[in-house]
Amino acid sequence: MLLREFLYVDTEKTRGLLAQITGGVEEQVQSTTRQSKNTELGIKSLAQHGVTWGSDEQTSKSLGDALFPLLEEALDANGLLTDISEELQSEDRWKELPTEYPPGSIIRLTAPASLFDARYLATSFAGLAATAQGLAHLGVIPTVSKGGAQAGPPKKNQKAQGSNARPAVQQPPAIEDAIPDFAVEGLAPDDLRAIVKVARGIFKPGLHMVSRPTPSLTHAVSARLQEGRSYLDSDPEILFARYGLAAQDWTIVGSVGHYSPEQAGLPDYGTMADAAGNISRAGLTQVMNSFIQYFGRLGFVDLPQYPGFSLVPFAVYRTVGTSET
């Protein structure tokens, strides 16, 4: 018997796929029992006694626990799901993946995977700064003069000159702004803020999973776990407190999103317009996307790097417990 501990389940996608295979999904079982008794004494306007008692019993099956194992079994039975865990352990096989498993292929991958969330990095650094401030104030650790720009609420803009001046638009604070200035030897608040800027620039805020089936750092499978789905903790601190930061074996079932191109260069601006000098919307889209793809190839954009690929996850789980049968 296989017991799954789910980290993530896309319930809407699971329900939709299972309904296509089976023709319908029974999602909820509910039963209700109630009894009621009323007793009247004397004149109704003077005395009336009413008693109502009963019990409501409702059993609602968890969509993730109940539906996804059914979907996984149905995909297996219909030959729609392929486990490529062993294949991806060989680096030589990666070049053949786009041909054998094109985008849209449904696969299962069990491999060491790491979780990352730029928000958790920012809150951890903010907590580190607060701890350092407290310890320095108590004299537990030495202090030095403050360095770097002051972090705090933005200063009010000076009154603009001229009658046509417009008030400045207040921008929402960035997540690295939560890191305060502190005065502790060996730690620089500006450096911590810079690290968070790099993290949120490359990894958009949210929970990311990076699987590494091989020891190489260049062969990775990336997945973005969408918030609001079942089992996904919205608080990253709870999530990392439970599962830690080190890589551990996770199973991802999902469809192949896209592969990173082996070569990606800067685009040709000439394709942005046609021979008559008119803007080509298709050409413009191609040029803009080529820019993103080029920087993604270099690792500056939240895209998989060659020879890696992305997965659109249906579910992420790990097996728990042992069974002799």
Give the residue ranges of DSSP H helices in 23-106.
63-77, 97-100
What is the block-wise mean pLDDT of the chain (325 residues), using blocks of 10 residues? 87 91 64 49 42 40 73 95 97 96 98 93 88 83 53 44 59 81 76 91 88 94 83 73 93 97 80 85 89 88 93 94 64
**pLDDT for position 231:** 66
With b meaning 16 or more CB within 10 Å and e meaning fewer, what string describes 113-128? bbbbbbbbbbbbbbeb
3-state helix, strand, coil in the chain (%, to 5): 35, 25, 40
**pLDDT for position 90:** 96
**pLDDT for position 30:** 47
Contacts of 214 (CB under 8 A, 6+ apart): 88, 89, 90, 91
Cis, bond preceding 189 (omega within 30 deg of 0)? no
**pLDDT for position 166:** 61
**pLDDT for position 209:** 95
**pLDDT for position 252:** 97
Question: What is the length of the chain?
Answer: 325
Structure tokens belonging to residue 68: 């996804």
How many other CB atoms are found less than 10 A from the CB of residue 180? Answer: 15
Map out the domains of the chain with their CATH numbers: 3-22+60-117+206-260+304-320 (2.40.50)
Question: Would you put residue 133 in left (φ > 0), alpha (ψ -120 to 50) or beta?
Answer: alpha
In angstroms, the CA 252 to CA 311 distance is: 8
With b meaning 16 or more CB within 10 Å and e meaning fewer, what string describes 5-15? ebbbbbbebbb
Q: Which residue has the tokens 């990173």?
A: 260
**pLDDT for position 17:** 94
pTM: 0.75
Question: Long-range contacts: 290-298, Cβ < 8 Å, 24+?
Answer: 290/264, 290/266, 291/266, 291/267, 293/261, 293/264, 294/264, 294/265, 294/266, 294/267, 296/260, 296/264, 297/260, 297/261, 297/263, 297/264
Angle between helix 189-202 and helix 118-137 axes, rounded to 10 deg: 170
| Nearest Cα residue to 315 out of 100, 59, 75 | 75
Residue 223's DSSP bridge partners are 209, 311
Q: CB-side exposure of 58: number of CA atoms within 13 Å? A: 4
Q: Is 69 helix (H, G, I), strand (E, B) or coil?
A: helix
**pLDDT for position 129:** 86
